[in-house]
Structure 1
C-alpha cells in the first residue's frame, strides 16, 4: 500500500465499479467512509458468503416508489437467504436494511437510532415487502449498537453486515476498538483484491475460457466505449496512447473476449463480432 500509486486501480471488484488506493485512505481514523470503500467491502462479503448486494443508493422521496425497479427485480428473482441494502439518507448518513429470507424478517438499522431515520427505513422495508416479498415478512427495527460520534456511520453499517458472518469482528465499540475495525476492513478489501489479482494473472490472456480476459478488459473498457461512441480522430488518438495496454485486452485476432458489459446502440457488445485493429492504425476523418 505504501508503495502504490494513489490512482492505481485495485482489481477484482467487477465491471462498472472503479476502486483505487485513494478510495481506501478514508480508513484512517476520523475520516468518513467513502461510498466506494463501503461498496468494495460489501462486494467482498457478497462474494465470500454468497449474499446479494444491490448498488448503493439514496432512497427516492416519492412515496411508494422509494426503491428503484432494478433493486425490486433483484430481490424478487434471488434465491439467496440474505439481501443487504445500504441506504444513504440526505447524502450524509449511512443506514442499512437486511432482508433475511430464512426468518422472513426485514431488519432496519440506523446507528443513530433516530426516529425519523427509522420511520424512513420502515417505509422502504414496507415497499420491499409489498412489491417483492411475501406478506408474512415482519419488519424489525434494530436499536443497537449506537454510534456516539459523527464520522463512523459507514463503519457501523459495515460492521452490522460483517458481524452476521464473522464472529471475530467483535463488539468493541470504544474509540480504540472502532479504529482497529477500520484497519480490519481495509485489510479485508486489500486481501480480496490481491487474491483476485493472483487469479487474473494465473491464466495467460488468449488461452482461457474468457474470464481472465474479461477481468483484463476492465482497465480499457472506458476508452474503448468512448471510441465506439465518438468514432472521431480524437477518440482514435486517445486509444492509440494506450495501444499497448489495449492490445493486451484482446486475443490475437483483435476480438473482444469475456463479458464486456458496456453497450453499443443499446445492445450488449457481446452481440457484435467487433474488431479493434482498424482503430489502432486507421487514419480517421476528423469530421467523421
Structure 2
C-alpha cells in the first residue's frame, strides 16, 4: 500500500516560527499537483508578539493555507485583504505573477495566539501557468463536509466522495482534512492517480503498523487503502493527477527554467505590482553556493 514514507524536516523560518517541511522531498518532489507542503507550528506568540512575512512574489502555482488554530492576515497586490481563520479556504492563484504578505493581525498581535496549520502549494498545469492572478475566499459553511465511521471529512479543494469543493482548480486533485475520533475508520479516495496522507496530530494505524504525527505516507496507485485511529487524530489526505517536472526557486514555480529566471529579474528590478499600503518586501535571495571541489 505504501510507496514512500516522508518525515517532516524541521525548518526555522525566523522569529521562533518552526515548520515541518514535507514536500518537496529529495526522493519525492510532488504528489499529484502538490509541490510544497509545510506543517506550521504549533507556534505560540505572547501578547505583543507576532509574525511578519513581508511581501514576496509567486508564479505558476496556487496556494492554500489551512488553519487548525490561530489567524493570519493576508494582503496581496490585487488589493485583497482577508483574515485567514480555521475552517475557511483562501485560494490564491499566482498564474503569471502575484505578490502577497502574511502577518499577525493587530488584534492577535495585541492578545497573543497559537498558530497551527498546513500551507500547501499546488502547481498549475502547463496550459494554465500564466493565467491571470486571483484570490477567492470560501467560508467554512461553503465546504462539503462528510461525517461517517467516526470521522469528519472536510473537502478543502477538488473532488472526492461524490462531492466537489468550491475552489477553482486547474487540474484533477483532492485535498481533505480528516478530524477523527478514537476508533475511526477512514477510507481514502481511490479515483485519483497519486495519493498521500499526512498525520498532523495523533497517530494512525495502517495495515497493523502505527504512524505518528509528522509522517506523510505516499500510497501505491490504485490500491484500496483505509486507516484506523487509536486515539483522536487529524489527518490530511491529498493527491491528484501527476503534474510533470517543475522547477522551484524560492517562491517561484514553473515548468520552464527560463521563466524562473525572468521572474527573478522582474522581482529584483521592481517590475512586480506591490501590495497596496506596504513598502517593505523580501529581497531576492542569493543563489545557493556550489559545493567546494573535493581534493
TM-score using structure 2 length: 0.29
Q: By percentage of residues, which structure has more strand? A: 2
Bigger relative contact order, structure 1 or 2 (CA pairs below 8 A, ≥6 apart) = 2
TM-score using structure 1 length: 0.30
Q: By percentage of residues, which structure has more helix? A: 1
Rg larger in structure: 1
